[in-house]
Amino acid sequence: MKDKQILFISKGENSASTRYRALAYFELLSSNGWKPLHITAHGIFPCIKLLGMAKHAKVVVILRKTFNLSFLRLLRLWSKNLVFDLDDAVFCRSNGEPSKSRQMRFEKVTSICEQVWAGNLYLADRARQYNEAVKILPTSLDYRKYLLEVEKSQEHFDLVWIGSRSTRKYLKECLPALESLSENIPDLRLKIVADFDLPTKRLKTVAIPWSDEVEAEALASAQVGIAPMSDDPWTKGKCGLKVLQYMAAGLPVVSSPAGVNREIVQEGITGFLAENPDDWRKSIDILFRDPVLRNSMGKAGQQRVINHFSVDTTFRKMSESLNSLV
């Protein structure tokens, strides 16, 4: 039997949504009778090519994008089965404020598809207002990539933050607490794995330009992963990728109790939830002084990713959804 084509449409191969919610499953899809393809939708000529590819696919998956209504109708007409995958609150602005245009596009694409794959319960509940066929597929990892034996610094106690310029503001808001903590932990250092640096006068920082090749080692070489984040309609749509990466790398996590991070991080087992500056200082200080606790939390977090947030586990849910379509 000829392989069934599944086409993923995204804003680009380097976006986290594409890498973790599409490309990560290509090998598993191929070994289960699918021919996975990806196309970047940007500009009129790629969109024309996209429609031609959609016509030949058994399933077309739109990753996070919300097209204008005229193109969406054409895509619906040319596609046998249409799925909308979302791992962000695309219905509001990135500062959490409502947006009529984004909400309208979200409603249209959600209601016009056969299925919706949502990265967390919050997104699923929003999507169910316009489509009953909603499946929760959490953002997941190939945990094997993070199982590295890496030597950690003996001279510094390294915190690590991974992200991008778009989430820089959350790290910046947490800096005063980290700076004050450096007075009690003179060897405290912050590794920033991103596309920017954030030097401070009171805290040592190391900028590590992000790449797929270096991220796993950069995380595993630290002692604690941090995930500060505000709590608003936009961040509730986040799917906890950085927290999962820290846990997969065997690190204890200190995170704001925001969005799905509140559900992923098990308080006192895989890390701590820090609601205010005092919580941040106390949590990191505890982990600094207790290497045994750091180790046990890191192992517990790693096992949690393997059991609940691995591509193998999530692919079973994806496969069930695809089989119900074709």
pLDDT level of residue 44 (50, 70, 90 thresholds):
low
Cβ contacts of 192-200, under 8 Å, gap ≥ 24: 192/160, 192/161, 193/160, 193/161, 193/162, 193/163, 193/218, 193/219, 194/161, 194/162, 194/163, 194/164, 194/165, 194/168, 195/164, 195/165, 196/165, 196/168, 198/168, 198/171, 198/172, 200/175
- 171 with 287, same domain: the answer is yes
- Model confidence over 224-275: pLDDT tens digits? 999 999 999 999 999 999 999 999 999 999 999 999 999 999 999 999 999 9
- Model confidence over 104-131: pLDDT tens digits? 999 999 999 999 999 999 999 999 999 9
Residue 88 belongs to domain spanning: 4-140+311-325
- 299 with 167, same domain: the answer is yes
Beta strands in 108-244 (DSSP E): 115-118, 134-136, 157-162, 188-194, 204-209, 224-227
Burial, 45: exposed, middle or buried (Cβ in 10 Å; 0-12, 13-18, 19+)? Answer: exposed
- 32 with 121, same domain: the answer is yes
- 158 with 233, same domain: the answer is yes
Whole-number pLDDT of residue 181: 94
Whole-number pLDDT of residue 2: 65
- Region of poorest pLDDT, from 195-204, 220-229, 314-323: 195-204
- Model confidence over 98-108: pLDDT tens digits? 999 999 999 99
- Give mean pLDDT, residues 191-213: 93
CA distance 107 to 113: 10
| Contact by Cβ (8 Å): 193, 161 | yes
- 157 with 234, same domain: the answer is yes
The full DSSP string for 255-318 is E-S-TTHHHHS-BTTTEEE--SHHHHHHHHHHHHH-HHHHHHHHHHHHHHHHHHSBHHHHHHHH
- 121 with 202, same domain: the answer is no
- Give mean pLDDT, residues 83-101: 96
The letter for the amino acid at 28 is L
- 208 with 84, same domain: the answer is no
- 149 with 295, same domain: the answer is yes
- 36 with 170, same domain: the answer is no
Whole-number pLDDT of residue 271: 98
Q: Tell me the whole-structure pTM to 2 decimals.
A: 0.94
- 297 with 321, same domain: the answer is no
- Model confidence over 129-181: pLDDT tens digits? 999 999 999 999 999 999 998 999 999 999 999 999 989 999 999 999 999 99
CA distance 30 to 316: 14
pLDDT of 287 higher than 80: yes
Whole-number pLDDT of residue 311: 97
Q: Return the SS3 of 72.
A: helix
pLDDT of 45 higher than 70: no
CA distance 155 to 241: 29
Strand partners, 159: 190, 224
pLDDT of 1 higher than 50: no
Question: Number of structural domains, the chain?
Answer: 2
- 123 with 73, same domain: the answer is yes
Q: What is the CATH number of the domain that holds 318?
A: 3.40.50.2000
pLDDT of 15 higher than 80: yes
Q: Structure tokens of 198?
A: 């954030």
pLDDT level of residue 33 (50, 70, 90 thresholds):
very high
- 132 with 228, same domain: the answer is no
CA distance 242 to 33: 31
pLDDT of 279 higher than 50: yes
